[in-house]
Amino acid sequence: MTARIPVHLSTSSVYPENAAYAFDLAERLGYDGVEIMVWTDPVTQEAGALSALAALHELQIGAIHAPTLLLAQRLWGWEPWGKIERALDLAHDVQAQCVVVHPPFRWQRGYAEGFVEGVAQRQERWGIPIAVENMFPWRTGGSAMQAYLPGPDPRDYPYSDVTFDISHAATAGEDALDMVRDLGDRVRHVHLGDSFGSFRDEHLVPGRGDQRCREVLEHLVATGFPGVVSLEVGTRTMKTAEREAALAESLAFAREHLGQHDLPGARGV
């Protein structure tokens, strides 16, 4: 019998609330664990604090998302490999399954030139998967700029591990089911969020957009996906009750299409 796929809540899904709130909410709603987006919240940077929260709420920490976002450029210093190495150390200390990273920005040329090789070297050294996330061109009107080097689509590069993000695929104009099939067993981690494929990276509650979220989840079950599905949903403008309802709805969607009808957070449970 294939092991069930854990469903986690990314701390980015409760922004601007903090990590402690994310753990509390994840437990109350019935999630299996939490993904940590390293951010200015000091708890997201401290292994002891994260481990204590995980133990208190009896939740796993499935992934550490390194601070490689545009708005996190100064966090943990300016040296990109230093950020990834600190994320690997943190993942080791909290027993996370992988580290999620974005590909370099095109202006980070020195970092970008050795990125594929550098990921492989550090993955071997730490023994922790570095799952490179699929991204998208930056689009305005009728024009598009390739903001990432060596490129936004991990199908074009020999990464052994990938984080597959449905909302990012939509923003790139790609079919999510086709992409996850193409990536095959390189998919280590999944970010679940919906979209209408607009210029903006939407991260909608799954089922509220028009992407093939259901089919992607069913594909993961059918192929024996060994990783974690993490809800990465934008709730920044929502009030507390609306946010919590949206994230409960997100978990119920994931449970339904992963065939987990009897688990906490499923509809009717």
The residues near 116 (Cβ < 8 Å, ≥ 6 apart) are 150, 157, 158, 159
**Confidence (pLDDT) at 199:** 82
Closest CA to 201 of 238, 167, 152: 167
Q: How many CB atoms lie within 10 A of CB 67?
A: 25
- Name, in order, each residue with C-beta under 8 angstroms of 47's C-beta and a sequence gap of 6 or more: 89, 90, 93, 94
Give residue 215's pLDDT: 98
The CATH number assigned to the domain holding 192 equals 3.20.20.150
In a domain, 141, yes or no: yes
H helices then E strands: how many in the chain?
A: 9, 10
Would residue 266 count as lying in a domain? no
Could you report the per-residue pLDDT of 176-198, keeping only the tens digit for each? 999 999 999 999 999 999 999 98
Q: Name the E strands within 178-222.
A: 187-192
Closest CA to 32 of 258, 268, 208, 206: 258
Look at residue 77 and tell me if it is in a domain.
yes
Structure-token pair, residue 260: 């987990």
Does 51 reside within a domain?
A: yes
CA triplet 101, 184, 8: central angle to 5 degrees? 50
22-36 pLDDT tens trace: 999 999 999 999 999
pLDDT at res. 116: 97
User: What pLDDT shows up at residue 142?
Assistant: 64
> Other CB atoms closer than 10 Å to residue 108's CB: what's the count?
17
Asked, for residue 1, whether it belongs to a domain, the answer is: no
- Selection from 212, 247, 261, 229 nearest residue 5 by Cα: 229
Residue 268 is assigned to a structural domain of this protein: no
In this prediction, the residues of the chain whose per-residue pLDDT falls under 70 are: 1-2, 140-143
Domain count, the chain: 1
pLDDT for 143? 67
**269: in domain:** no
The widest CA-to-CA distance across the chain, in whole angstroms, is 52
Which domain range does residue 41 map to? 7-257
Strand partners, 133: 163
